[in-house]
Structure 1
């Protein structure tokens, strides 16, 4: 199991040759250890006020679905489309973000992981990928109601945290959220 602090340390070394770091370089550095983060980062972004901008939740859902389909087919290293792979962030912003993530990663490494492992190892990861794809399919119609797409996005974020920490307790919570999200979506559906 990859510890989150190992991922943070790996990211600190990304893009040592330039002032900017591309998402492609970050993806190459982290490799298969960061696939869950590629699901969680866009889902977390959708939960911010950006998720209220018309069209943005659908674009984010397409990006998440792209990664979930790759997980479903057993791909360990994620393929990024060129428009994402070439996006860059300054090394300074990356290091500032990593400094903010470090305490959470240390806490996670101490308290999460290696519980109910049946919920976080194959074939469970592929079942999770299917659930995430289903949630992504609900996001475009939910855009008609302001911030309603946060229901499936929050559940996707929980699934990604369960996969990232490899903690079955978090994954069990994500499955409960999945059931609640489906019920909530059904209740909101016109």
Structure 2
């Protein structure tokens, strides 16, 4: 593996480390902290971190899926509109979790993050076109709008979180295969959700 690929595929674990460090610095991790961590990575971490939280046991806490949905909706709509810099209301930027809860979630997610980092790399550039990214963002908009309902459908928020996480990581790494996976996972998730709803 080349050094360039090593830097690319360390993204997820690096983001988790920085999120955890932010919590240890002041006792909590806010959305503003995540936005600061994102830096020149753009919108990727702003979708990745909420997506990871939705996959983790924290999604079982009442109202957490709804808050995640609001953040994902705001970020995804701005990606669809082609904004380079993501704006979030101050109330959303101030929302956060205690360092203890973040540590617990990251301990749960780190083994998965390590496996994903070994898989993710920059490839299939044709699949990372502006149109593909905006279509994937529309998928995340639909998921975000459904997040409040997912609070009462078992495991649905975890499936939604997986789709959002994969999209965030695809944006960060430029991985076209992962971007394609967003659409595959979304269709698979619909196949699981429809029988539960009906």
TM-score, normalised via structure 2 length: 0.70
1:135 aligns with 2:140: no
Q: Give the superposition deviation at 1:38.
A: 0.5
Match of 1:63 in 2: 71
Taking only aligned residues, the RMSD between alpha carbons, in angstroms, comes to: 3.4
Distance 1:114 1:139 in 2: 30
Query: Which residue matches 1:151?
Result: 159
Question: In the alignment, which of 38, 51, 60 is matched to residue 59 of structure 2?
Answer: 51
3-state secondary structure, aligned to 1:171: helix
Aligned to 2:124: 116
Structure 2: 5+ residue stretches without partners: none
Matching residue of 1:39: 47
* Cα deviation 1:27-79 (Å, max 9, x = unaligned): 35643413111011011112222211232211211111111011111111111
The answer as to whether partners of 1:116 and 1:167 remain within 8 angstroms in 2 is: yes
Cα gap change, 1:137/1:24 in structure 2, threshold over 3 Å: closer, same or farther? closer
Distance 1:115 1:183, change over 3 A: same
Is contact 1:42–1:64 with CA below 8 Å preserved after alignment?
Answer: yes
Specify which structure has the higher proportion of helix: 2
Q: Where does residue 173 of structure 1 map in the other structure? A: 181
Which 4+ stretches in 1 moved above 6 angstroms?
Answer: none
In 1, Cα distance between the equivalents of 2:59 and 2:134? 27
How many residue pairs align between the two structures?
175
Residues 54 and 143, structure 1, Cα contact 8 Å, conserved in 2: yes
* Counterpart selection for 1:77 from 72, 77, 85: 85
The separation in 1 between residues aligned to 2:56 and 2:91, in whole angstroms, is: 22
TM-score after normalising by structure 1: 0.72
Structure number with greater Rg is: 1
